Structure 1
Amino acid sequence: MTPVTKPISPFEGQKPGTSGLRKKTRVFMQPGYVEAFVQSIFNAIGGCAGKTFVIGGDGRYFNAEAIQTILRMAAASGAARAIVGQGGLLSTPAASNLIRVRGADGGLILSASHNPGGIDEDFGLKYNISNGGPAPEGVTAAIFDQTKTLREYYTLDTDDLDLSAIGETTLGGMTVEIVDPVTDYAALMQTLFDFDAIRALIADGFTLRFDAMHAVTGPYAKTIIEGMLGAPEGTVLNGVPSVDFGKGHPDPNPIWAKPLVDMVMSSDGPDFAAASDGDGDRNMILGKGVYVTPSDSLAVLAANAPLAPGYARGLAGVARSMPTSRAADRVADKLGIGAYETPTGWKFFGNLLDAGKATLCGEESAGTGSDHVREKDGLWAVLLWLNILAKRKMSVKDILLDHWQTYGRDYYSRHDYEAVDSAVAEGIMGDLKALADGPLPDGIQKIDSFSYTDPVDGSVSHNQGMRVFFDDGARAVMRLSGTGTEGATIRVYLERYEVPDGDLTNETQDALAPIAAAVDELTGLKERSGRTAPDVMT
């Protein structure tokens, strides 16, 4: 089977962001678009000859077609083996695990994470390196450089492969191995958590629900939660993956998972509830009558992780993205371990995890994980919470209150202004940056643009978001999101600390209202964006 060389012209705008390349599905469906980006990846990593790749995605619209294209191109470029999730499905954390346990050279993950799916919605593709984590900036920069000069790509003229049957087949000189997407991941979870304790908790009448949001985590949750842990059938909601996520928005937050929130807030709701997103790397945690913010969840997990067998040795350190609240820092300080503040993007945690400096990592955007893989992991976070609940024998609400009474509470919220005109958004951010160099308004201690120096390799990342520090210790962060596909999303993060013996049960938005007002006065955000309120508050 002879490789075919085909000419191609570069496509503008194929610059990978913090989570790979994300565009509208119809953009990816343009003739040659996937081929151009994939060939740029292969060129940037020194070719495919003799290499092994993990390939899979969240099952959204056009995933199956794109995977066939990738397989033909990898085979034409001399790859030795492709490991593919059955039906093309692999959650992002499961893909990371497969890369690691199989010693693969890298992986191509097809997902736009929490973004909606469908022919008129979003699509994404990213490259993960051999440690299982997202490609670092040096690799994504090399990929982008290739996209600007590409003139040809290599493929095979073959029919599509059947990806439904587990086993091995060949494509050209490449072995294609179809694997059950859940098996290796479930085995890893068994090594980390006390399944016997969780199973006993459930058998004793503890009630829970897990909303897979019609996305990739459904099969994983049904196997582990309903199967291995013995939860009743029906515990997993919306558990069958759909190409358009049931025409929903697979983002696990109180807005898009409102039916689950309403259920757990009702008087007869379950003791515990959780949700995950399109590709399985994000999570939302709820207890009866209480929503746990991602920042608080990271802090609680850090404080209680040694209750799980996989973390009984203790934690080396805790890392968080800069916009995430400082709640985890307070835990690290009390434990006497390292606390690291990184830019947004899971790839920045990779060096810390590989170097053994951090064990747990988290982002305010509903992502938490540990050194078991090199991606955030939604179902992992749910299982760690269940392990903690089984050991502490307290409700989610009581664990949260006990945590605040020990460490204090960081009132925290993210306000999103979505699809803002890009020029307007850039102007707002530019004006705020200019304020940092002049006389500061009353009540503001410092304004700066966050830069990060990696403590492992010394690499430096500039302009990672604007921080505003108030005289009373409160903090606001503003940054432009890299996960949308149209306009610009301005994210505003608000944080105020309350001491352990202070008012720990105030309503979050009420507690943060003065900071939100101060940010609006400082930037003119609402007037300039044409909004009277954020589109989403989490």
Structure 2
Amino acid sequence: MGRLFGTDGVRGLANVDVTAELALDLSVAAAHVLGDAGAFAGHRPRAVVGRDPRASGEFLSAAVVAGLASAGVDVQDVGVLPTPGIAHLVTATGADLGVVLSASHNPVPDNGIKFFARGGHKLPDEVEDAIEARLREPWQRPTGAAVGRVRPDGSGAQRYVEHLVASAPHRLDGLRVVVDCAHGAAWWVGPEALRRAGADVTVLGAEPDGLNTNDGVGSTHPGPLREAVLAAGADAGVAFDGDADRCLAVDARGELVDGDQVMGVLALALKERGALAGDVLVATVMSNLGLILAMREAGVRVVQTAVGDRYVLEAMREGGYSLGGEQSGHVVMLDHQTTGDGVLTALHLLARVAELGRPLAEVASVVRRLPQVLVNVPDVDKARASSHEGVRAAVAQAEAELGTTGRVLLRPSGTEPLVRVMVEASAADQAQAVADRLAAVVAAELAL
């Protein structure tokens, strides 16, 4: 049996993989592990619990609250709120634990359980492993006054919005913005924060009914946002995913502004203000070479990590860096938040546009994305991808051909018997030709 926790908590098909029983048992185990580690020493433990709007979150949240309270933890139930909003409230209230019920950008039938430790940080692998190891263990149940108390709290959204707006380095007055909330957790928070910062806001995807989260809208479906921006003659559009931990944008022409461009804009803005720690941006190996070249020209060093926001966060915390993220639009600004925050990202991106008084397309042009081709090669021995001499020789030949304006990346899938071949080049036809050639070599040499 594989590890229960993935790179972003426990996730799967709700009521099949992620059940009420599992949610309750995980919450009890988490309370025990953190309590034994001294996280609750000298005080009555407190937790913040919230969720995105999908229907399964209703019973899963109830199970988490029940598990925590039965283990003697007082619970502040904040209802529907973005994942970064929960992280912020854990920090702001001094809570010992945060729990989010969300499957982020996944479709509605899925759901997930994510834990935050004191300070709003994700749990390290070893703590997650300890929680998994203690599932369903016998335990002494508290009684009477020792059981946890549950307090619904409707003020969390207001407090989170106030935090977001206070972080903006420039007002958004005069900007017309379309906001796609993915029928998700930011349905109220996103538009409200942008309005309070001064923007004229048109809203999409802000009618969650429990079954429509991420359904044809949000950051994974930018088409409706493009159409709305063009129809409204807006200056820009921003789109969140179901739990609003990521943000993508479109400019006034309806052209996509991806996470790499967003990070480039924010990095230069922070560097200009002397707020980019170490003049370093942390990104994953999947970030476009265009970002790295642009940052190099601007005097910003790019530290690259494995794919996954937890690896970005680890590198940021270890190096003391302030900005990092992924091409998907999951951007972390550690001066303001402990995790990726889509609404925060949107505020700071649009603040830069307003500050410079130039169109988003021009502001985002600081990063010229190189053509990028990704080919999946199935039914191969992915474990040998990095060591097979024939494959390594083909990669070396491709890298020599591309020179300094291109690159090659072979990534074994974490869940399937396939290898992903990614090639970037200065011309799209060259990137495609090199990717196809490498994919053929991988298919022939590593066939199962």
Shift of the 413–252 alpha-carbon distance from structure 1 to 2, 3 Å rule, reads farther
Task: Tell me the equivalent position of 1:210.
Answer: 179
Aligned to 2:60: 66
Do the aligned residues in 1 keep the contact of 2:373 with 2:432 (CA within 8 Å)?
no
Letter of the structure 2 residue corresponding to residue 59 of structure 1: P
Alignment RMSD:
3.5
> Where is the strand percentage greater, Structure 1 or Structure 2?
1
Aligned pair in 2 of structure 1 residues 284, 62: CA closer, same or farther (>3 Å)?
A: same
1:101-250 matches, within 5 Å, as 101-117=92-108, 121-147=109-135, 150-152=136-138, 172-194=147-169, 197-199=171-173, 201-202=174-175, 207-232=176-201, 235-245=202-212, 248-249=215-216
> Which letter does structure 2 place at the counterpart of 1:477?
L
Flag structure 2 segments of 5+ consecutive residues without an equivalent. none
Q: 2: distance between equivalents of 1:74 and 1:470?
A: 58
The separation in 2 between residues aligned to 1:280 and 1:243, in whole angstroms, is 16
What letter matches 1:222 in structure 2? Answer: P
CA distance in 2, matches of 1:492, 1:269: 39
Deviation of 1:124 after TM superposition, in Å, equals 0.5
Percent of matched pairs sharing the same residue: 20
Alignment-derived partner of residue 4 in structure 1: none
Once the two structures are superposed, residues 275-330 of structure 1 have per-residue CA deviations (whole angstroms, 9 ceiling, x without a partner) of 000100111111022212222221122112367xxx66444331112222344444
1:397-412 alignment runs, 5 A limit = 397-401=361-365, 403-404=366-367, 409-412=368-371
User: Is 1:23–1:124's contact at 8 Å kept on the other side of the alignment?
Assistant: yes
1:348-497 matches, within 5 Å, as 348-354=311-317, 357-371=320-334, 372-401=336-365, 403-404=366-367, 409-413=368-372, 415=374, 427-435=380-388, 437=389, 440-442=392-394, 444=396, 472-473=403-404, 474-479=406-411, 492-496=421-425
Residues 510/131 of structure 1: CA separation in 2 closer, same or farther (3 Å cut): farther
Which digits, 9 at most, give the CA deviation of each residue in 1:22-59, with x for residues without a partner? Answer: 11013146462323333333343345863221211112
1:35/1:27 CA distance change after superposition, 3 Å: same
Equivalents in 2 of 1:367, 1:493: separation in Å? 20
Of 12, 28, 33, 1:44 maps to 33
The answer as to whether partners of 1:36 and 1:153 remain within 8 angstroms in 2 is no
**Cα distance, 1:228 vs. partner?**
4.7
Structure-2 change in CA distance of 1:14 and 1:353 (3 Å)? closer
SS of match in other structure, 1:388: helix
Contact 2:381–2:417 (Cα < 8 Å) also in 1: no
**Aligned counterparts, 1:483-522, within 5 A:** 492-496=421-425, 498=426, 509-510=428-429, 512-522=431-441
Larger proportion of helix: 2
Does the CA-based 8 Å contact 2:180-2:218 persist in structure 1?
no
Q: Do the aligned residues in 1 keep the contact of 2:91 with 2:120 (CA within 8 Å)?
A: yes
Instruction: State the match for 2:443 in structure 1.
Output: 524
The answer as to whether partners of 1:215 and 1:250 remain within 8 angstroms in 2 is no
The C-alpha deviation readout for 1:134-180, integer Å capped at 9, x for no partner, is 22222223233334xx34478899xxxxxxxxxxxx99443525142
- Amino acid of the structure 1 residue aligned with 2:9: G
Tell me how far 1:198 sits from its aligned partner: 0.8
Task: Indicate if the aligned counterparts of 2:19 and 2:60 stay in contact, CA closer than 8 A.
Answer: no
Q: What CA distance in whole angstroms lies between the structure 1 residues aligned with 2:409 and 2:344?
A: 28
Find the aligned partners of 1:219 and 1:268 in 2 and give their Cα distance: 20
Do the aligned residues in 2 keep the contact of 1:111 with 1:123 (CA within 8 Å)?
A: yes
Count of residues in Structure 1 that have an aligned counterpart in Structure 2: 438
Q: Offset at 1:125?
A: 0.6
Could you tell me which residue of structure 1 aligns to residue 77 of structure 2?
A: 84
1:182/1:226 CA distance change after superposition, 3 Å:
same
CA deviations over 1:201-222 (Å, ceiling 9, x no partner) = 23xxxx3211111111111123
Deviation at 1:384, TM superposition (A): 1.2
In the superposition, relative to structure 1, how do residues 30 and 388 fare at CA in structure 2: closer, same or farther (>3 Å)?
closer
Are residue 17 (structure 1) and residue 6 (structure 2) matched? yes
Quickly say closer, same or farther: Cα 1:153–1:102, change in 2 above 3 A: same
TM-score by length of 1: 0.71
Residue number in structure 2 paired with 1:34: 23
1:345 counterpart (285, 297, 308): 308
Q: 2:261 aligns with which of 284, 296, 318?
A: 296
